[in-house]
Structure 1
């Protein structure tokens, strides 16, 4: 069976890239189609894949400013010639699902989320823009939204990375989906040693992750906070922070694992579709303080593996941190890790292969 994998971009490692890695381990001969590939930001194991980029790769600055190219992505994804493949697996957060396949090619989309800035986060996305920019974005987004809905009909089977996302697939595309949680490397992220005295954030430093909220709270509480990750808000956040907050930039997985293992608790102030980093922290036995909305409601157990705060504001998070300060010793690291094991890589691969096998048989019986 000839298989192709379609993803949006290889510009750094996040949860969706780890899903693509698992797909490629299942289908090692499959080429990976991406809009742009920034080799400098990707581990060698990804760079060794058979990566096939779109014409967007040739545009100056596309490897770092690819988000600006959204209006071109629907056209770019439709230029991939996938006529030689029996199975196409798309890993989609915006446009990858829009590939055009032949009638006898099965297209399975693993949807990390419908295009959030086109649907449920649209008003938040434009609220700080100028009047002129709002007009430009709204006129473009109307067409992109129409294409997004239309292109969802090209998918034969949808997979969702959480029940949270499955609801949005139904809402935006009127399509049913099966939930298969993404893979977390619980063999790599393991228990070791005693916890330290610092709190930890591992995140891309972009606005919607709400790292700024955590900085404000920890500035007030004067508790040690370590922030790992880079992004467009790095300089702004570093300027906001007091001396009790450390910024370490991008680190290796081994270094991040050490910080997971030794933190007092992991802090997750944003709303995510799933959110892999809270599960990685739990695999290392550390409790999580999470915003009680989105994917964390499916991965964190209140009072057993972490604490929720339900208003995304400074006071609500502050109260949760104070509560953790008083109660972190009651959390059992083995219980926390056991919860994380239900998201293992082997479990993911097994569920994916069972689903693919079932759908391939159904599809070819119909064809």
Structure 2
């Protein structure tokens, strides 16, 4: 079984890239194809020794730093990969990877992190946040996204089996592509986080400081609760905004190394998570420490945080809704102890992902071979 692994781009080592590395671990002889590859960012990972083929976009000016500006060219780029020599094609896609061309005797499995959000239901938010809500640039962007949606739906027909990273994304795949998807939750490095039953009094918010993570809402909520301590860890475009919002009960630490972040996660009274994520890895990491999570009740958090047991949900992305959830948590607590919260997190482990993903690929490959009379 000759395997090809297709990725949108390999620029930074984050959530989707860790899933792709796990797939590469299951099929270590697989060849990797991607639009742009930042070799420096993947030193020490399985990608360092893999055979990686980049698209023509990698040769364009500033592609490594400004790769997203070349999104209109990426559908053409992934279609140029010649995959005719491979039996199984696994695309890990949140943008264009699923659009590779395959034949009827090849098995194409797409692990879909999400249908590309800024082309579909997040288009208006994306255009407004990028300053392209109006004017000639805005209309050009709208037209390009319109063309992209047509291509995106068409290429869904080239996928034999979809895997969603959550039931939430499964519903988005059904709505956008009209296809059913099996759910295999991403691999979370649960074993990198050890259980600490004794908690301190502070709450923790940690993430990249970008608008959709909504750290500003968490900070505003705690600015209205002067008797509650909040620690904020992260860096990004909104750092100056967050600093201007600080009150004496809020400590901003900026970027911290993994060991420091893990220590705060282990000791925090609760982890506060205000983003609408497709899956959301950090709430699982916090629960692996035995730390409850107060999370926005949308997206993957509905599947990973058990309301009243491993944490609490809040219904609206507003400071008041967060404040109410914190007060609810303070009054009622959660029914699970730290060790039970940890046990829940272990259901999202690397070992579980490896087992489910390998079985899925091999079973579908065997079924295709039987159809072909092999």
Q: What is aligned with 1:179?
A: 183
Correspondence 1:210 to 2:211: no
Q: Is the 1:32–1:49 Cα contact (8 Å) retained in structure 2?
A: no
TM-fit CA distance, 1:80:
1.6
Q: How does 1:338-353 map to 2 (within 5 A)?
A: 338-353=343-358
Distance in 2 (CA, whole Å) between partners of 1:42 and 1:325 is 42
Q: What is aligned with 2:265?
A: 260
Q: Is the 1:110–1:159 Cα contact (8 Å) retained in structure 2?
A: yes
Q: What is aligned with 1:25?
A: 25
TM-fit CA distance, 1:30:
1.5
Instruction: Report runs of 4+ in structure 1 exceeding 6 Å deviation.
Output: none
Q: How does 1:189-208 map to 2 (within 5 A)?
A: 189-192=193-196, 194-208=198-212
Correspondence 1:37 to 2:34: no
Q: Secondary structure at the match of 1:351?
A: helix
Distance in 1 (CA, whole Å) between partners of 2:316 and 2:146 is 31
Q: What is aligned with 1:118?
A: 119
Q: Secondary structure at the match of 1:304?
A: coil
Q: How does 1:1-367 map to 2 (within 5 A)?
A: 1-50=1-50, 51-128=52-129, 129-132=132-135, 133-192=137-196, 194-222=198-226, 223-242=228-247, 244-249=250-255, 251-252=257-258, 254-328=259-333, 332-367=337-372
TM-fit CA distance, 1:250:
5.3
TM-fit CA distance, 1:336:
0.7
Q: How far does the alpha carbon of each residue in 1:122-178 deviate from its partner, in whole angstroms, 9 at most, with x for none?
A: 222224534113312211110000010011111111111111111111111011111
TM-fit CA distance, 1:34:
2.1
Normalised to the residue count of structure 2, the TM-score between the two structures is 0.91
Q: How far does the alpha carbon of each residue in 1:264-309 deviate from its partner, in whole angstroms, 9 at most, with x for none?
A: 2111101011111111111110000100011111111111100110
Distance in 1 (CA, whole Å) between partners of 2:304 and 2:32 is 29
Distance in 1 (CA, whole Å) between partners of 2:205 and 2:39 is 25
Q: Secondary structure at the match of 2:5?
A: strand
Distance in 2 (CA, whole Å) between partners of 1:34 and 1:350 is 25
TM-fit CA distance, 1:344:
1.4
Any gaps of 5 or more consecutive residues in structure 1? none
Distance in 2 (CA, whole Å) between partners of 1:348 and 1:44 is 21
Q: Is the 1:261–1:285 Cα contact (8 Å) retained in structure 2?
A: yes
Q: Secondary structure at the match of 1:187?
A: helix
Instruction: Give the RMSD, CA atoms, in angstroms.
Output: 2.0
TM-fit CA distance, 1:217:
1.5
Work out the number of aligned pairs and report it. Answer: 366
TM-fit CA distance, 1:256:
2.9
Distance 1:245 1:187, change over 3 A: same
Out of 33-42 and 4-13, give the one that drifted further.
33-42
Distance in 2 (CA, whole Å) between partners of 1:240 and 1:184 is 32
Normalised to the residue count of structure 1, the TM-score between the two structures is 0.93
Distance in 2 (CA, whole Å) between partners of 1:107 and 1:195 is 46
